[in-house]
Structure formats: C-alpha cells, structure tokens
Structure 1
Amino acid sequence: MNNPQVLNILSERSKEGRKSFAVLIDPDKVSDEDSLSEIIHLSVKHGVDFFFVGGSLITEDSLDWVVRMLRAESSLPVVLFPGSNLHIHQQAHAILFLSLISGRNPELLIGQHVVAAPILKKSRLEVIATGYMLIGSGIQTTAAYISNTLPIPNDKPSVAACTAMAGELLGLRLLYMDAGSGAPEPISQRVIGAVRRSVDLPLIVGGGIRSGAAARQALQAGADVVVVGNGIEKNPNLLIEVSYIVHELNAALNVHE
C-alpha cells in the first residue's frame, strides 16, 4: 500500500481537533502544466495537507498527467474524488469511495461501486468508504445535475444530521458535505454544526468557499477539512489565505493544550 494512510491521518487529526486543508484539482479546469505546477508549489510552500483530484464530469484526457505531476512535484497525499467509476488512477495514494447518501439514485449509492470494486480490489489504492452529501446552494450545480438527485436544503440541519447518522451507522468512515463546484454560497454553519454534533466521523466540507472568512466559519462550525477548488482557480491568493487560517486555528489549539 502506498504511504501515507489517509484515513488514519484524518481520524487522528479529527480526534485531536486539528484542522486540515485540501486543494481540489479538477483535471478539466487545469489549463496547462505550468499553471498546475504553480498551484503545487504554492500548496507545498503554504502547508496544504491534501490534494483531492476529480470532478463531476471529466471530459478532457488529463487525469493521468495531473495525478502523475502531483506525485512528481510534491509529497502531499493525492486523493481521488471520483465522479464515476472511470475516474480511477493507480498512481494516487487513496480514493474516496463515494456513496451519495443524500440522494436516491441507486447508481451512485451502489451501482457505480459494483463496477469499480474489482478494479479497486486489485489496486494499491487506499479505498475509503465515504458518505457524500450534496447540500443545496440556491442553484442547480453540476454535481446535482450529473447525479440526478435533489440536494439536502441548506436550511434543514435536522435532515442533514439524520442523513449523516445513517451513513455512520452503515459503517462509512468519512463524511463529505458538498455544496458543489461553483456554488454561490457555502454550506451554512447550522448544517455543519448539526452534522458535527451527530456523528464521530471525520467531516470534510467543500463547495462555495470563496473567502478565508467562509473557510473559517466552516472550520469553526465543525468541519475537520475544508476543500477549496473553484475559488483558487479564480484567485490563487485564496490558497494562502485559507492555509493561514488553518494554521492559526491549529496554533490556537496548541496554546490551549
């Protein structure tokens, strides 16, 4: 198995109350190797914790060189965030084996998993069973359209909490709450807080995070990991800002220990 063990890292950091930052790389939105190299070097310099790689719809033949370049130019864990069973790459460290527990589309609850299972079973990838929850953002995102599901409303924390509890009881190991790429608003603190209080699993939150303030609010509400992708593509300085906030919150934890 490739090192590092991503789930162990996430679980230990969650138990300690330490926050993490993942930069999401959508292969379709990487224009060239120079721009990706810039993001990689910026991520390493400012202490990003993980690279997530994927998107709801990958139409370009770029997954291969993106993953290889991330591995070649950094030692950060590379974690696949697949939109389908086609988005598997053996050179990554791990894959989030996503089950869309917020929807009722059987293809994304179990169908895609059946097709991918024999490939993943033979691979060296760390396979992490992950409950994926789409949260409404006021518009129909690509993730909602492609998955053919209705997101959980952003003003229904009890629905989100019960969905998360069901995922935990089913034996899933992570929860990923996502407003979707390009979402106009991030997931509300009430929804994040309700889920955090309801489960003991590491909690990943992404979508609609376009400022350091939004990242801070998600982390303070209970997210263990914030994921930013679209915002960094438009404003690389956001990477620096979010990294600073994550390090600041972890430093404050050290002071109080």
Structure 2
Amino acid sequence: MGHILEHLLNIKKQNGAGYLVLIDPDKQDIESASTLAELSAEANVDAILIGSSFLMSDRLDPMIQAVKQASGLPVIISPGSSNHISRYADAILFLSLISGRNPEFLIGEHVKAAPTIKRYGIEAIPTGYMLIEGGSCTSVQFISATLPIPRDKIDIAVAHAIAGELLGMKMIYLECGSGSIQSVPNEMISAVKEQ
C-alpha cells in the first residue's frame, strides 16, 4: 500500500471521513490555486485534488508544484483522461468509471496512462468512480458519454460500489460532477459507506 492511500485510510479510520479540496486547473490560475492551497492548509485539509474533466490548459505541472509549495499538503491528481498526469503529483486516483458502460473509461484510458504513471513512479490509487444524477448534464457525463446513476436508486449505487470493491478498488468516489444542481444524496453516501 502506498503512503498516500495509507494516509487517507488512517484519516478515515480516525475521523470517519477526510477533507479534500478540488482545484480545477481550467477554472483557476496558478496564483489563485496557490492562495486556495494556503487557505486549505490553514483549514486543516487532509489533501488536495487537482483535476478537470477537460484540462484545456497546460498548467498542470506548474500548478501542482505551486500548490505543493504553498500548502505542504499531499497533491493527488483526479484525472479526466490519460493525458492528465504529472511527475510532480504525490499520487493519482486511478479512476475507473464503474457506474458507466463506456469501455474507454472503464479500462481504455488506464492502458494509455499506465506506462507513464509507472515510469514517473506516481502512487496510483485504484478508485471506483461513480457518477450520480445531479439535476443537470455535467461535463463528465457529456465527455464520458455515460448515464449517471439515478439519485433515488441507492440499491444500484450500493451494487456498483460492491462490484468496485470486489474488483480491487481501494476507494469509491461518488460525484454528481461540477456544475450539477444537486450533490450526492447523504442517504446514498451512508449506504455505500456501510458496505
């Protein structure tokens, strides 16, 4: 087990949950990301996620370096594709979109990214990514060409999370996507956590 995953699991064990902040390189410049990183460290954030569904900018490397310097916190990439890799990250969520049926996001992007991740020596955290209905079509839904799990279908979400666990996923990431009107229902989070 890598040290970042171990760090996150220890936080979950001690506190019941972790506190991570997501910085989107397409929506923030390096200066504002650094400021957010400083504020995050002051607010006792456990780690910082950096990622985007698109990543239209070329700021990933310098942003990760600036965020690490400003915060001293672990920086974990939350990639939208196999191109979202940086040697400067502490870890990368090796996301498999287990709620969808698009093979590109179940395994295709992983095959493309794996050699670079291994060459850079980045800790990969196998993570089952579940897209949940949030009241609007989000970027991740559009880009991945997948339907989200209906927000009232808790049993379907639980079944997907169990499948992810049985496939060896170390974490499950539930999200409605940026720009969604609603967030993941608390009842769904609790039900998935209990499993």
TM-score range, shorter chain: over 0.9
Greater RCO between the two (CA within 8 Å, min separation 6)?
A: 1
One-letter amino acid matched to 1:15: K
TM-score normalized by the length of structure 1: 0.73
Report the number of matched residues: 194
The whole-number CA distance in structure 2 between the counterparts of 1:137 and 1:50 is 25
In structure 2, what is the equivalent of residue 253 of structure 1?
A: none
- Structure 1 unmatched runs, 5+: 199-257
1:37 Cα deviation after fit = 2.5
Of 57, 60, 63 in structure 2, the residue corresponding to residue 60 of structure 1 is 57
Cα deviation per residue 1:122-159 (whole Å; 9 max; x = unaligned)? 22211110000000011110010001000000000000
1:49 Cα deviation after fit = 1.1
Q: Is residue 2:6 matched to residue 1:8?
A: yes
Matches within 5 A, 1:124-135: 124-135=121-132
Of 188, 191, 208 in structure 1, the residue corresponding to residue 188 of structure 2 is 191
Structure 1 segments (4+ residues) deviating >4 Å? none
1:116 alignment partner, SS class = helix
Matches within 5 A, 1:165-184: 165-184=162-181
The whole-number CA distance in structure 2 between the counterparts of 1:37 and 1:171 is 34
2:68 alignment partner, SS class = helix
The whole-number CA distance in structure 1 between the counterparts of 2:47 and 2:106 is 25
2:136 alignment partner, SS class = coil
- Structure 2 unmatched runs, 5+: none
1:13 Cα deviation after fit = 2.4
The whole-number CA distance in structure 1 between the counterparts of 2:64 and 2:78 is 12
The whole-number CA distance in structure 2 between the counterparts of 1:13 and 1:40 is 19
1:17 Cα deviation after fit = 4.2
1:106 Cα deviation after fit = 0.2
CA RMSD of aligned residues (A): 1.3
The whole-number CA distance in structure 2 between the counterparts of 1:71 and 1:165 is 34
Matches within 5 A, 1:13-32: 13-30=11-28, 32=29
Mark the structure with the bigger radius of gyration: 1
Identity rate, percent: 46
In structure 2, what is the equivalent of residue 159 of structure 1?
A: 156
Matches within 5 A, 1:70-81: 70-81=67-78
TM-score normalized by the length of structure 2: 0.95
Q: Is residue 2:67 matched to residue 1:83?
A: no
Judged with a 3 Å threshold, the aligned counterparts in structure 2 of structure 1 residues 110 and 160 are, in CA distance, closer, same or farther, namely same
